[in-house]
């Protein structure tokens, strides 16, 4: 297990669910962690808080994401689609730019985005969300090239994880949904937290520009 003693992390969307699971994994390894909720306007203050309070910003986790609509792409309100892209993609780049200017351009660090398996294949009824996560996955590869060698940038792409955000995907039929996963259960935030800690830590020092799929083996069954 990597030790994060003396390192500072900022986790956005960290008040519950996957973000909180990631934060707990980092704290367990000794990191000092600054949490924000999901509102993008708080991000600039959070970057300043991390650097001014703890003296560094070594790890950055972008976990701000919304999915306010459900239905086919042909019915998707374009205003809602713009909001999804702005929150899920544009604000992620904004966050990294701020961290780069405030600390990482000089001192280095590692970045992790929380994407989704919806960004890797078709995602009926949540297509706008899937497109935004596909963009985030490509942003990961772009930034890994541009920010290297000082900063590594990776992503995780979870399938269904038991959080309030994903309740609509399994509520009332958890056993049925879980049966589609070779491991026999849905994901939990701790699963994502442990993978995130690996990608952010020194043990993944030769890993950048990658998206780690966390799907309980469901992708191995094909589509």
* Residue 129 annotated in active site: yes
Place of tokens 């030790």: 3
Q: Which of 129, 170, 181, 198 is catalytic?
A: 129
Query: What is the C-alpha to C-alpha distance for residues 191 and 160, in angstroms, rounded to an integer?
Result: 11
Query: What is the C-alpha to C-alpha distance for residues 200 and 137, in angstroms, rounded to an integer?
Result: 16
* Active site amino acids: 129
């Amino acid at each position: 297990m990597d030790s994060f003693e003396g390192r500072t992390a900022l986790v956005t969307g960290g008040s519950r669910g996957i973000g909180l699971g990631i934060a707990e994994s980092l704290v367990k390894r000794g990191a000092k962690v600054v949490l924000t909720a999901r509102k993008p306007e708080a991000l600039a203050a959070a970057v300043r808080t991390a650097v001014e309070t703890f003296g560094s910003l070594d790890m950055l986790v972008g976990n701000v994401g919304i999915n306010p609509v459900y239905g086919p792409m042909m019915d998707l309100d374009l205003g809602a689609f713009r909001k999804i892209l702005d929150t899920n993609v544009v604000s992620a780049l904004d966050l990294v730019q701020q961290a780069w200017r405030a600390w990482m351009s000089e001192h280095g660090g590692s970045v992790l985005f929380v994407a989704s398996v919806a960004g890797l294949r078709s995602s009926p009824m949540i297509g706008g969300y899937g497109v935004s996560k596909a963009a985030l996955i490509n942003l990961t590869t772009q930034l890994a090239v541009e920010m290297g060698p000082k900063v590594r940038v990776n992503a995780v792409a979870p399938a269904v994880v038991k959080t309030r955000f994903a309740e609509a995907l399994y509520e009332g039929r958890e056993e049925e949904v879980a049966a589609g996963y070779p491991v026999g259960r849905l994901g939990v935030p701790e699963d994502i937290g442990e993978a995130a800690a690996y990608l952010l830590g020194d043990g993944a020092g030769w890993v950048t520009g990658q998206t780690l799929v966390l799907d309980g083996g469901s992708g191995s069954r094909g589509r």
